[in-house]
Amino acid sequence: KQEVTQIPAALSVPEGENLVLNCSFTDSAIYNLQWFRQDPGKGLTSLLLIQSSQREQTSGRLNASLDKSSGRSTLYIAASQPGDSATYLCAVPPGGGGADGLTFGKGTHLIIQP
Amino acid sequence: GAVVSQHPSWVICKSGTSVKIECRSLDFQATTMFWYRQFPKQSLMLMATSNEGSKATYEQGVEKDKFLINHASLTLSTLTVTSAHPEDSSFYICSARRLRNTEAFFGQGTRLTVV
């Protein structure tokens, strides 16, 4: 059974800092990995999708890397802003692919101090 | 990205009544939709996989007779919480994707409170 762990559980940094969020998963036979953002009481916003054949994916100030063999992914946020404050979730499909849903980590609760 | 619309965004109901939540993919056809539940300060847990034109697949521990799922078309799936109890109070979120192993898009979620 796929398990996803995210570290740290919470992070508070001053505005402008670069930061790294970590995600690890137990079954490396995945087709892709997805990073989401969740604001309080809201649904999920997809940030980045990395296919298993890719090493990294970039969108604006966000960069996600994937090391499938070691079961790890990182989300790098450059020049953080107060608007980046949210919970960031990492999710993967079951190992071996298939039509099943995603397994989520518990998230990193991020606060960017103005 | 694609748009998934979920309705209602919040609902309050009395114990013993049923509540229906709708999930629509607005600009793409979704052969598969997923329903998740999220308790306070917890992550999302998959409840069931909804396949268009066939029965839903439920995760272990999820009562299929209590959480009725219908995926009548390629753009609509519904979740009905039957005979709701206070312990069913939670945040329910649906997800849809175009094809297998592609990006998943999520609805805004529905906050259900059973009193």
DSSP state, B59? P
Flag if B93 and A42 touch (Cβ within 8 Å).
no
With 90 as the cut, is the pLDDT of residue A77 above it? yes
Residue A81 has pLDDT above 80, yes or no: yes
B43 and A44 within 8 Å at the Cβ level: the answer is: no
What is the Cα–Cα distance from A103 to A92, expressed in whole angstroms? Answer: 5
**pLDDT tens per residue, range B12-58:** 999 999 999 999 999 889 888 999 999 888 889 999 998 888 889 99
CA pair distance B111, B19, nearest whole angstrom: 11
Confidence of residue A97 (pLDDT cuts 50, 70, 90): low
- Give the Cα separation of B62 and A57 in Å (integer): 35
Quick one: average pLDDT of A7-19?
Answer: 96
- Nearest-neighbour CA in chain A from B54: distance (Å): 14
pLDDT-derived band at A98 (thresholds 50, 70, 90) equals low
Query: Helix, strand or coil for residue B88?
Result: helix
The torsion region of residue A52 among left (phi > 0), alpha (psi -120 to 50) and beta comes to alpha
Cβ-in-10-Å burial (0-12, 13-18, 19+) of B39 comes to exposed
User: Which residue of B101, B105, B112 to mutate against A (max A Cβ within 10 Å)?
Assistant: B101
pLDDT at site A2: 87
Q: Which one has a higher pLDDT value, A81 or A98?
A: A81
Inter-chain residue contact A89 with B43, CB threshold 8 Å:
yes
Whether A100 has a pLDDT exceeding 80, the answer reads: no
Residues of chain A found within 8 Å of residue B49, distances taken between Cβ atoms: 99-101
Smallest CA–CA distance, residue A46 to chain B, in Å, is 7
When scoring A44, A62, A104 by the number of chain B Cβ atoms within 10 A, the one with the most, hence best to mutate, is: A44
Chain A residues with CB-CB distance to B7 below 8 A: none
